[in-house]
Amino acid sequence: MAETTRTSATTIDSAACAPEWTEILRQMIFIRRFEEATEREFRRGKIGGYLHVYSGQEAVATGILSAIQKGDIVFSGYRDHAHALTLGADPCRVMAELFGKATGVSKGKGGSMHLFDAEHGFYGGYGIVGGHLTLATGAAYALRYQQTERIVVCYFGDGAMNIGSFHEAMNIAGLWGKQGMCPVLFVIENNGYAMGTSIERHSALTDLSARVRAYSIQAEKVDAQDVFAVRGVADRVIRQIRETGKPYCIEAVTYRFSGHGAADILQPYRTKDEVEEHRHRDPIMILRNRLREICGLSDDDVKKMEDDAGERAAQAVKFAEESPVPDPRELFTDVVAEHGPQPETES
């Protein structure tokens, strides 16, 4: 199997100082603050169920989703807050969803694992590992069938690559791609672990991009703690997908700083040192330092961003807290189309 190329953006040109990068930094900082708030609110018992936060992986959401266009569609797993937020979902409504409130993006019916915001192109939020890959593949077909130039982005974890639906989706995407009918960007969020199982222990072949090439789908690795690198690949690749209608895969090599979920306190599968080491490659720090060094971003600017982000996260919590719970009648809505051809199920 050929060596996997690894892209990294060591050469930074003047475009690096475009205002957009400040926006990306702002967004990454906000995601971090937002996730910290969710962890706090989970401990306070305000958020229920499972909670999977994104801290450490911010460059994957922002680097790629800043490169797509309006009308593009995004699918994700259960670690989905950052994707929804980066697409423009209202943080207040995202937090309200986590609180199980009527004002939530999914009316409080979905929760953390099932954020959904069709208006902003976010098509969920799924809890069965690997289950949404086939959905994304079908969505990509639909967009091409409808003769649009829209594309699909589909996020999933390294661990999801071992389940059958990954395989079926990839092979179908590869086949449809040959007809130019499958404009989808698969993004492996390779954070090294499926819950507590490291890649070496869950994947027979540890070169994940190589696995994807076995479906005749182009794939490349990128150092995803470096949002410049991610964005660089994304720009090029998304253009290609849009032009060709063929799938592509980015293996975003990243790391999660928090536990797998809120219950993963002990983390017996990795050492404190390992986590600490990766904190030296915090994607926020990397971008911030670069903007400081090259573009003259000041400490004050950064401080202001941090404060703003904290403020917005706090506002989201406040909004969520003050929002009403769903009306009990909501229990029975959205089961089937209310005005579909079928009468209500008798009870």
Partner 1 sequence: MAEKTYRDAIREAMMEEMDRDTNVLIMGEDIGVYEGTFRITAGMLKKYGPRRVIDTPIAEAGMAGTAVGMAMLGLRPIVEMMTMNFAIVAADQILNHAAKVRYFSGGQVDVPMVIRGPQGAGVQLSAQHSQTFETFYGHFPGLAVVTPATPADAKGMLKTAIRGKDPVIFLESAALYGMKGEVPDDLDFTVPFGQSRVAREGSDVTIVSYGRMLQVSLIAAEKLSNDEGIEAEVIDLRSIRPLDLQPSYASVAKTHRAVVVQEQWKPFGAAAEIAASITEEMFDDLDAPVARVTGEDVPMPYARNLELLATPHEPQIIAAVKKVMYHD
Residues 56-75 that bind partner 1 (CB under 8 A): 73, 75
Segment interacting with partner 1 (CB under 8 A) among 24-32, 114-122, 224-232, 289-297: 114-122
Task: State which residue, 184 or 286, has the beta carbon closest to partner 1.
Answer: 184
- CA–chain centroid gap for 59, Å, is 10
Return the exposure string of 191-222: e unless at least 16 CB atoms fall within 10 Å of the residue's CB, then b. bbbbeebebeeebeeebbbbbbbebebbbbbb
- Residue 252 CB, nearest distance to Mg ion (Å)? 11
User: Does residue 198 interact with a copy of itself by CB under 8 A?
Assistant: no
10 Å Cβ neighbour count for 329? 7
User: Does residue 157 interact with ligand TPP by CB under 6 A?
Assistant: yes
Answer for which of 35, 72, 80, 158 binds ligand TPP (CB under 6 A) is 158
- Residue 162 CB, nearest distance to a copy of itself (Å)? 5
Query: CA dihedral defined by 220, 31, 80, 78, rounded to 10 degrees?
Result: 110
Amino acid in the structure at residue 148: T
Return the exposure string of 241-267: e unless at least 16 CB atoms fall within 10 Å of the residue's CB, then b. bbeebbbbbbbbbbbbbbbbbbeeeee
d(CA 26, CA 24): 5
The interface with ligand TPP within residues 113-132 (CB under 6 A) comprises 127-129
d(CA 136, CA 138): 5
Answer for which of 10, 11, 14, 342 binds partner 1 (CB under 8 A) is 342
Segment interacting with partner 1 (CB under 8 A) among 29-37, 162-170, 222-230, 242-250: 162-170
For 230, the token pair is 């991610």
The interface with partner 1 within residues 72-101 (CB under 8 A) comprises 73, 75, 97, 100-101
With tokens 């992986």, the residue in question is 57
The interface with ligand TPP within residues 225-284 (CB under 6 A) comprises 260
- Residue 203 CB, nearest distance to ligand TPP (Å)? 10
For 75, the token pair is 């699918």
Q: Which residue is nearest to ligand TPP (CB)?
A: 157
User: Does residue 259 interact with Mg ion by CB under 5 A?
Assistant: no
User: Does residue 1 interact with partner 1 by CB under 8 A?
Assistant: no
Task: State which residue, 96 or 187, has the beta carbon closest to ligand TPP.
Answer: 187
Which contiguous run of DSSP H or E holds residue 187? strand 184-190
d(CA 308, CA 55): 18
Q: Give the binding-site size for ligand TPP (rule: CB under 6 A).
A: 15
Determine whether 33 is exposed, middle or buried from the number of CB atoms within 10 Å of its CB (0-12, 13-18, 19+): buried
Segment interacting with Mg ion (CB under 5 A) among 120-128, 153-161, 168-176, 314-322: 153-161
Binding mask 153-172 for a copy of itself (x = CB under 8 A): ---------xxxxxxx-xxx
Interface ranges with Mg ion (CB under 5 A): 157-159, 191, 193
Interface ranges with ligand TPP (CB under 6 A): 79, 127-129, 157-160, 163, 189, 191, 193-195, 260
